[in-house]
Copies of this chain bind each other. A is one copy, B any other.
Amino acid sequence: MPAQTMTNTKIVLASRPEGAPCDDNFRLEQEPISTPEPGSGQMLLETIYLSLDPYMRGRMSAAKSYAEPVAIGGVMEGGTLCRVLAIDPEARCRHKVGDEVLAYTGWQSHALVKVDDPSVVALHRPEHLPLSYYLGVMGMPGMTAYTGLLLIGEPKAGETVVVAAASGAVGAVVGQIAKIKGCRVVGIAGGDRKCDYVVNELGFDVCIDHRQSPQDLAAELHAACPDGIDVYFENVGGHVFEAVFPLLSNFARIPVCGLIAHYNDTFATGEMSGDDCGRGDFTPILMRAILTKRLRFQGFIVGDFADQRENFVNDVAAWIKEGKIKYREDIVKGLENAPRAFQGLLKGQNFGKLLVEI
């Protein structure tokens, strides 16, 4: 097949946001892209679904984190589900044209990658679950929930587990696994519709609306957790954490998975800075609670637990089939709508795992 030229549509980082991202931080670009030439060692992927996730806000900032930031003008990063369109005919490749693969090609319609790129992984679907699930409950967010809750949270039957962003891609799975493990599960979500879904569809014991005054949130959470909180799966921070904090029981475990309430804070640079608060004033209260209540705070990212993949896939696929894990998606059509959808995600406007169908 002679090299063929088509158009790649992509969203690049136009500028770094100060505070919440806005339209101006993104730019849609188009460029010609060719099928791989013989000897190039490349293959061409076509994106089917792009996953939108809160961590991407971190990549838009220059601050130090566990991964490098996206460069200005660079394609926005993200996990994708792709189809192999073409392969360098001279290359040896474990994929073949037409294969569905998981990749990390970002916010674009096509990508040329090396045939042996380790981030491109063949998709096996013996469970016959929908394709899109592999970017959600059967993918990174599901595995984040599974590993963080079970390996750091270590929930025991009868304990109380609190999950913020309870209707989200990670929180929904955390809470349902905690129910499977015999815990009392209290969700926190934004608005009546989400709270109703969390209790009546996902089977949490209670769900509390965080869109109320901090005082009311604290009082309602206290009433919902009469024996305190044994596991708090932290993916929010902010006033939700403040409501949770005084209720933590002795020996509580806090897997720190995300802090979406702070992703737009400009001072959250990972370096301690005294500018926002008198030096030395902000840690003693938290540290004293860690000491006197013997709390365990532990941060993680899903890549830290790669050896758990097989357990995760087997367990969660089985739980979905048994009806013990339910799953909801929020699918937006068209790459051009990704920036707005992502801005909405950071405000909690999505309802279910957010994906873009390209």
Contacts and interface: CB of A to CB of B under 8 A. Distances in A.
A237 B287 contact: yes
A272 B237 contact: no
A284 B265 contact: yes
A99 interface: no
A242 B239 CA distance: 24
A284 B299 contact: no
Contact of A284 (B64, B245, B257, B268): B268
Contacts of A239: 279-280
Interface stretch (A14-22, A111-119, A290-298, A325-333): A290-298
How many copies of this chain sit in the oligomeric assembly?
2
Contacts of A250: 66
A281 interface: yes
20 contacts: A64-B292, A66-B294, A237-B287, A241-B283, A242-B279, A242-B280, A246-B272, A259-B291, A262-B288, A268-B284, A271-B285, A272-B285, A273-B285, A277-B281, A282-B282, A290-B299, A292-B299, A296-B296, A296-B297, A296-B299
Interface of A: 58, 64-66, 214, 234, 237-239, 241-242, 245-246, 250, 256-259, 262, 265, 267-273, 276-301, 304
